[in-house]
Structure 1
Amino acid sequence: MESGGSIAANPMNATGDQASYDSIVTKVGCSNATDTLQCLRDTPFETLNSVLNGTDGNPQYSFWPVVDGDIIRDWGSMQLGNGEFVKVPIISGTNTDEGTAFGPTGINTTQQFYEYLTDGSAGIKLPASAAKRILELYPDDPSQGIPAFLGNKRVPSQGYQWRRTSAYAGDATMHANRRKQCETWAGASIPAYCYRFNVHSADVPYLVGATHFEEVSFVFNNINGTGYHYGKPFAGTPPSYAELSKLMTSMWASFIHDLDPNSGVRNFTNKWTSYAQNKPVDFVFDANVTSHMEPDTWRKEGIDYINSIAKAYWR
């Protein structure tokens, strides 16, 4: 599970989905069909694809998981808490700087950050007490923000507190969900191989760091960047990038075949060990230093709090 998993980062209700569905049905000419869903299934790929995807490759519609009492019986956080999940080994991970893709820009003051948390612009309205606690756990200290390689620097062009809000947004959107999933699997004594991808690809601006989606080309060994719209992720990179991709591809293939990411890996001594309650760890995939295990305890207090109020996020 890459950049997502059992707990959705969005409210799991159907608001707006029906209108989007109806729009698609109309555009492909299925409005008068007795069974519109079957009509969509029968629609030629080229026709449906042209409706779902814009000319720039970005999707025109977004459909999030919805609690329907059937396929999805409850919020992900609730089902994990109740032990209601398929108990099989998993790979689960996120990228170091997820928040640069999901966080707000233009926030310069703590008051503006508070309003972002409570006015619904973040996708959810947090209670005042929760928002105030978030402000405490994610202080206005650039050195605690992301990307970490910027040290104490601020980025005024993105917002005086951009690094602060990006750290929070990455945790709220991706990291907290991933960590809760790994903790739950460990609590049930089921192998969970968790990771943190820590590579800046060539197809994204330097400032965004190891941001969302950038691990995908590495996992699939897509050295040529086939299908990428915004540049080539390996263009001009040192040999260590291709070597890391080979390692990741080997580990994913090994897991698929043996449920163990280490089984088919050769000439690499650092083993990827599974999560444990008394030893929470993730594997850091890096092209600048040797990939290695680390304690999965970074920003622990903030992430623990986000997970403790999962229902406030409609998760």
Structure 2
Amino acid sequence: MLCPWLVFLTLISSVTAVDTLVNLDYSVYDGRALANGITQWLGMRFAAPPVESLRFAAPQDPEVTVGVQNATQHGPLCIPTSKYPVPSGTSEDCLFLDVYAPSNASNTSDLPVFFWIHGGGFSSDSNTNYNGSGLIEAADMSIVIVTFNYRLGPYGFLGGSQVAEGASVNNGIKDMLKALEWVQHHIRKFGGNPNHVVLGGDSAGAGAVTLLLSAYGGRNDGLFHAAAAESQSFATMLTVNQSQFEYDNLVIRTGCAGEEDTLACLRGLNVSTLQQQNINTAFPNAQAAPLYMYGPVVDGDLIPDVTYRLFEQGRFVHVPVIFGDDTNEGTIFVPTNTSSVGQANTFIQTQFPSITLDQLRQINAWYLQPNETEAFPDAGIYWRPTSNAYGDIRYLCPGIFLSATYAAAGLPSWNYHYAVVDPTQGEEGYGTPHTVEVNAIWGPQYVSAAPPDSYFTSNAAIVPVMQGYWTSFIRSLDPNPLRAEGTPEWLDWGSHDDAYRRIYFQTNATAMESVPPTQRERCAYLSGIGVQLRQ
């Protein structure tokens, strides 16, 4: 005779997504149906707690639980770098995901799935816990959305030979793959189609999209079928051996240097003790700590080489793609008091320590002319010029390179230039800053941080425009067929004389444009030195 618990599991195994109760084989979760016709399941485990012996380890399957688990609250976020004590609402036990689906979906609905990867430089939580309701409503209740956490800083990206040999490197990326595998196994229970999964992400999340596109040298494991990257980030990427300084410094700071097994010592530390020493330090040959020190490393397997080289060699998954950027990608990163060429070059070299003097000289000639015609409150005259250079090196030029690479391979490839200016951000000199378009894509009332006020007023009209293109891409793998009425056709990147096409987003003035010749010239140079910069 079957035990009552097994009978219960059998009975709910065929329940459709319209029921809040979902059986994931290892656990049963009960979500919440909202009045807007959308059901959400929050805080579901997709991997075992990465603590104690699993600290620094690749993600493992979640353990089986007995009884119904509550899925009405987000799980804790992963612990960021350079925050002590451990911030409220974060935990080392953080591998949870959320699912949003139309309440009338069933396990045979086969709805397209949007898989969102948050940003934050692989060191902090940014764009997390977004509410999928706005996008689902914009898609006529015809998509499913998955958001999730991945490990950050040393918890997810500690390098060094001891970690590679005794644990695992690149665990933050492996967490993403684990969540994608979860989607393959379980998303039908929420109405989703595992054969129609679209990656999305911004900043480091968009950088992660490019890493997944080139994972294992472009091996296609069928985990996703299209990708939309917003402000794809090409940061400095070290090898396992080059990242040894991260490990050694952490061992020294935590008092583990006297132990024979330093990795076991790090694993045995109380999380508060470890977090107190979770800080950024300078790259070798650099003069100061970078914005983000921890990140993916070239391990010869999951990440076989730096990103530029992998795409140059054609080692990437062939799927439809969107890449794009904001006009002023660098303004939120460069110190506003930057007042000299020396300060500007120090900032750039701090982020890209492999840069040479000749390369800096060329960047200075193009970008570093003092900005004396535009005066912003408390800003140095080299703030905006340095921001332009940094934005091109890390974000804009990689996006142009990727769009061109996909187009050259004969694949569907679209690019965008987002130029919507919030009045307050414009007056302060930030222009159209890094990843501000997430407010338009998700809807300003559905993001987790405070959006610019104008997205509810003077810039509100850009929201349905962006949502129309994005939901069309999610649903049809093309931003055009289901775009908002009255919006222009978003032409692909093109080829030969028709290449360098991108859409130019402005409130009430969205249109196609061509990448200007000066930007093409600069990006050709900057992408050309990308491998040397270890991007």
Q: TM-score interval w.r.t. the shorter chain?
A: 0.7 to 0.9
Amino acid at match of 1:214: V
Q: SS where residue 331 of structure 2 aligns? A: helix
Q: Which has the higher contact order (CA 8 A, sep 6+)?
A: 1
Distance 1:20 1:263 in 2: 53
Amino acid at match of 1:189: G
Residue from 469, 476, 483 that aligns with 1:251:
469
Alignment of 1:152-301 (within 5 A): 152-155=373-376, 157-201=378-422, 204=425, 206-221=428-443, 223-224=444-445, 226-228=447-449, 231-233=450-452, 235-237=453-455, 239=457, 241-278=459-496, 279-287=499-507, 289-297=508-516, 299-301=519-521
Distance 1:109 1:115 in 2: 10
Residue from 79, 94, 101 that aligns with 2:310:
79
The reply on whether 1:305 has 2:525 as its aligned counterpart is yes
Asked if 2 retains the 8 angstrom alpha-carbon contact of 1:9 and 1:177, the reply is no
Distance 1:176 1:78 in 2: 15
Distance 1:125 1:134 in 2: 14
Amino acid at match of 1:87: H
Q: TM-score, normalised by structure 1?
A: 0.75
TM-superposed CA distance for 1:203, in Å, is 7.9
Distance 1:266 1:107, change over 3 A: closer
Distance 1:236 1:85, change over 3 A: closer
1:236-267 superposed Cα distances (whole Å, 9 cap, x missing partner): 55655232111211211111111110111242
Distance 1:286 1:16, change over 3 A: farther
Q: SS where residue 532 of structure 2 aligns? A: helix
Alignment of 1:49-64 (within 5 A): 63-64=294-295
Asked if 2 retains the 8 angstrom alpha-carbon contact of 1:99 and 1:169, the reply is yes
Q: SS where residue 502 of structure 2 aligns? A: strand
1:69 match: 300
Alignment of 1:26-175 (within 5 A): 63-117=294-348, 120-140=349-369, 142=371, 152-155=373-376, 157-175=378-396
Higher strand fraction: Structure 1 or Structure 2? 2
Distance 2:511 2:342 in 1: 39
Q: Which has the larger radius of gyration?
A: 2
Amino acid at match of 1:64: G
2:154 match: none
Distance 1:203 1:226 in 2: 19
Distance 1:249 1:157 in 2: 36
Distance 1:239 1:189 in 2: 41
TM-superposed CA distance for 1:122, in Å, is 3.1
Higher helix fraction: Structure 1 or Structure 2? 1
1:183-208 superposed Cα distances (whole Å, 9 cap, x missing partner): 10111111111111112347857321
Distance 2:454 2:310 in 1: 45
Distance 1:227 1:11, change over 3 A: same
Asked if 2 retains the 8 angstrom alpha-carbon contact of 1:75 and 1:314, the reply is yes
Distance 1:242 1:155 in 2: 26
TM-superposed CA distance for 1:94, in Å, is 1.0
The runs of at least 4 consecutive aligned structure 1 residues that moved more than 6 Å come to: 19-23
Asked if 1 retains the 8 angstrom alpha-carbon contact of 2:418 and 2:437, the reply is yes
Asked if 2 retains the 8 angstrom alpha-carbon contact of 1:104 and 1:165, the reply is no
Q: TM-score, normalised by structure 2?
A: 0.46
Asked if 2 retains the 8 angstrom alpha-carbon contact of 1:2 and 1:92, the reply is no
Q: SS where residue 504 of structure 2 aligns? A: strand
1:281-314 superposed Cα distances (whole Å, 9 cap, x missing partner): 1111112x41111112352222221111112211
Uncovered stretches (5+) of structure 1, i.e. residues with no partner: 24-32, 40-46, 52-60, 144-151
1:29 match: none
Distance 1:242 1:128, change over 3 A: same
Amino acid at match of 1:183: A
Distance 1:110 1:2 in 2: 30
Amino acid at match of 2:399: R
Among the aligned pairs, what percent are the same residue?
25
**Larger mean Cα displacement after TM superposition, 242-251 or 203-212:** 203-212
Asked if 2 retains the 8 angstrom alpha-carbon contact of 1:2 and 1:94, the reply is no
Q: Could you say what the CA RMSD is over the residues aligned between the two structures, in angstroms? A: 3.6
Distance 1:104 1:240, change over 3 A: closer
Distance 1:266 1:197, change over 3 A: closer
Distance 2:438 2:487 in 1: 24
1:63-82 superposed Cα distances (whole Å, 9 cap, x missing partner): 42211111111111111110
2:104 match: none
Distance 1:218 1:62, change over 3 A: farther
Asked if 1 retains the 8 angstrom alpha-carbon contact of 2:322 and 2:413, the reply is yes
Asked if 1 retains the 8 angstrom alpha-carbon contact of 2:322 and 2:415, the reply is yes
Distance 1:172 1:270, change over 3 A: same
Amino acid at match of 1:300: R
